[in-house]
Structure 1
Amino acid sequence: MSTVTLTEALIEFPDNRLLIDLCGPYDGHLTAIETALDIQIVRRGNVLVLLGEEAAQSRAKEVLQALYLRLEGGKDVGPADVDRELRMGGSEEDTGTRDGDQLEMPVGNRIEIKTRKKLVEPRTDAQKAYVQSLFDNELAFGIGPAGTGKTYLAVAVGVSMFIQGHVDKIILCRPAVEAGERLGFLPGTQEEKVDPYMQPLYDALNDFLPGKQLAKLKEEKTIEIAPLAFMRGRTLSNAYVVLDEAQNATTMQMKMFLTRLGEGSRMVITGDRTQIDLPRGVPSGLWDAERLLKSVPKISFNYFTSKDVVRHPLVAAIIEAYEADTEAG
């Protein structure tokens, strides 16, 4: 019967204040690493002692050093960052812009999107590739489960492009499928009726723009948030346009939306093929667009999985459980 040899390894951190942030409230970050890697971490001054198998020690060192570098760079470390490093760490690569006339994007191991209120950092390799494609292509698709940052990152890039002057306006839209005929029975004006369905887009914008500025831009129609049906008959020039929840657009609606693309504009289509709310027998326009446009040059398709979920770690587990059940069925 083989025995497992536990050894002791030391890792020193020069800045004790940063080490406190690295450990997290009530050493919560260390506890998460211990649980994930089956290792024990003991703090002695500015040194962390790692007790466990050598492979686990090596992995723990990678995670701790990556998080410490993040703190040295002036960024916060939260539970989501710890979870990301545990799931995705060790695969950071230098990412830059490609040849040709490209929009300005920060270069380096950590891609950042600058908005008025915060710097937004894609956390996984798939998110990094997605952000890169949003800068590189006039038409990009982001397809994957909830919580993977598809819409959030798309809106962040749109705000960044708007701030840099690459586009004159931002237009965000969604199909109001859930409302259907019931929309007419809701109280209020047309805008008040559809606002609940647009709330995720408002939430993203509120993260990136000060409230007063956002209100002013909305009043001036420089930023628009509207149902997909409102796009009919328009030509969208010099605009950054996002279609969210695209799996709930019909084939005709998707074609209508895609043909709105005007000079100097960018379009992003995001969706989750597992959450289609269209009536039975009505095909999803997202599925058709993917099938018909996959081979068209200068259109990018970016895919996410449960590994890219950046919400609560349980969300990833829930998605994986449903995916496993679908495959079993």
Structure 2
Amino acid sequence: MDDTALSEVQIDFPDNFLLIALCGEYDRNLAEIEQKLSVQILRRGNHLVAIGEKDAADRTIALLKSLYSRLEAGREVGSADIDRELRMNAPEPQRPTRDGNQFEMFSAGQVEIKTRKKMVEPRTEAQKAYVQNLFQNELCFGIGPAGTGKTYLAVAVGVSMFIEGHVDKIILSRPAVEAGEKLGYLPGDMKDKVDPYMQPLYDALNDFLPGKQLQKMMEEKTIEIAPLAFMRGRTLSNAFVVLDEAQNATTMQMKMFLTRLGEGSRMVITGDRTQVDLPRGVSSGLSDAERILKAIPRISFNYFTAKDVVRHPLVAAIIEAYDADAPA
């Protein structure tokens, strides 16, 4: 970087305690911003100075202002918040879609999902649009690679809508399709055999609900986690229903599941078209549903790419490398 092209921009923060929180323990928040934006940040009393190329320095100051505003509102600032602010564009005003706290949040462009244990916020524009559609539409599809938050955000919205009284139960399902080991070879009864396939859904719920409350809700069947095959013959009313790993559902299974939708329910279908574990020659119900249902109103399709991956940065690089190596 040419020193003669460097820009130096200063910003003042009146509350020293909030400034300490902004900087993070051992200034780790500042270090992360420096690394991601290729700038240097100096602290001088209650001032922070960003030094770097003009666009980077200006973006750093805008980021610091936004993070400081979070702290003023009584919210925390961590690595995930820095990542989200860097990914997201400035929010635009949007109209509320329904009455109720969870739906009014769109009026100021702010998208938050309230759960018992924490507040969940989208970290990319695609995630933001997905969450909005989850609240607005009765049937949503989330399609894209692993690590883009498709299932995590869907479960968070389900928990939020249950807490707010919009639904009476949460139903989470997955096809019990093996990616190597056969179900029959696993020890234990049917629950023991199926639980390993359902574990990602348990993990998401544990992030949003206290352990004792989650256990009680599962005992009372207000939360159900079951293989896709267990959905046959049911009508799912007043429920928030998620089908995860839908690329591993056959066309007939997908039709069966979609027609379970009952009054007062919402349904979310998530999947990754590049990770189909069905036997050779069996078409994926996710691809067929996408083709058949695309023109139906009130059904939303949301697509994610490697840019929306919010796991370790290497995950995005791995996905992009495999996509580049795929046959044309």
Place the TM-score, normalised by the shorter chain, in its bin: over 0.9
Q: Is residue 304 from structure 1 mapped to residue 304 from structure 2 by the alignment? A: yes
Assess, with a 3 A threshold, how the Cα gap between structure 1 residues 326 and 23 changes in structure 2: closer, same or farther: farther
Relative to structure 1, the CA distance from residue 29 to residue 263 in structure 2 (aligned partners, 3 Å threshold; closer, same or farther) is same
Find the counterpart in structure 1 of residue 213 from structure 2: 213
How far apart, in 2, do the equivalents of 1:155 and 1:176 lie? 19
Alignment match, 1:233:
233
TM-score normalised by length of structure 2: 0.92
CA distance in 2, matches of 1:145, 1:59: 29
Aligned to 1:20: 20
3-state secondary structure, aligned to 1:10: strand
State the Cα distance separating 1:90 from its structure 2 match. 3.3
Structure 1: any 5+ residue segments left out of the alignment?
none
Cα 1:83/1:182, change in 2 over 3 Å:
same
Structure 1 runs (4+) deviating above 4 angstroms are 100-104
CA 7–298 in structure 1, closer or farther in 2 if over 3 Å, else same: closer
- State the one-letter code of the partner of 1:216: K
Deviation at 1:6, TM superposition (A): 1.6
- Which residue does 1:109 correspond to in 2? 109
Please tell me the residue identity of whatever aligns with 1:290: E
The alpha-carbon distance between structure 1 residues 47 and 4, as it changes in their structure 2 partners (threshold 3 A), is: same
User: Which AA in structure 1 matches 2:261?
Assistant: L
Residues 103, 136 of structure 1: 8 Å contact kept:
no
Q: 1:211 to 1:292 in 2, by over 3 A?
A: same
Structure 2 counterpart of 1:261, which letter? L
- Give 1:202 shift: 0.6
SS at match of 1:324: helix
Map Cα deviations across residues 32-62 of structure 1 (whole Å, 9 max, x no partner): 2222222211111111112222122111111
- Relative to the length of structure 1, the TM-score reads 0.92
Counterpart in the other structure of 1:93: 92
2:163 matches 1:163: yes
Contact 1:115 1:208 in 2 (8 A): yes
Partner in structure 1 of residue 184 of structure 2: 184
Question: 1-side partners of 2:285 and 2:173: how far apart?
Answer: 15
Closer, same or farther in 2 for the Cα pair 1:9/1:26, shift >3 Å? same
Q: Report Cα offsets for 1:156-191 as digits up to 9, x if no partner.
A: 111111122221111100011116882122111111
Secondary structure at 1:110 match in 2: coil
Alignment partners' CA distance in 1, 2:46 and 2:147: 36
How many residue pairs get matched? 325
In the alignment, what sits opposite 2:151? 151
Counterparts in 2 of 1:182 and 1:311: CA distance versus 1, 3 Å: same
- Equivalent residue runs for 1:1-329 within 5 Å: 4-86=4-86, 88-98=87-97, 104-107=102-105, 108-178=108-178, 182-326=182-326
Instruction: Kindly indicate whether the alpha-carbon contact (under 8 Å) linking 1:140 and 1:300 is maintained by their aligned counterparts in 2.
Output: yes
Structure 2 unaligned residues grouped into runs of 5+: none
The 3-state SS of whatever aligns with 2:5 is coil
**Superposed displacement of residue 66, structure 1:** 1.5
Structure 1 contact 95–111 (Cα < 8 Å) conserved: no
Distance 2:226 2:326 in 1: 33
Q: Percent identity?
A: 73
Q: Distance in 2 between matches of 1:222 and 1:188?
A: 25
> Cα gap change, 1:226/1:4 in structure 2, threshold over 3 Å: closer, same or farther?
same
Q: Distance in 1 between matches of 2:116 and 2:32?
A: 33
Instruction: Determine the C-alpha separation between the residues in 2 that align with 1:103 and 1:30.
Output: 34
Report SS of the residue matched to 1:105.
helix
Distance in 2 (CA, whole Å) between partners of 1:182 and 1:166 is: 39
Q: In the alignment, is the contact (CA less than 8 A) between 1:4 and 1:53 conserved in 2?
A: no
Q: SS of the residue aligned with 1:281?
A: coil
Larger mean Cα displacement after TM superposition, 110-119 or 313-322:
313-322
Shift of the 84–164 alpha-carbon distance from structure 1 to 2, 3 Å rule, reads closer
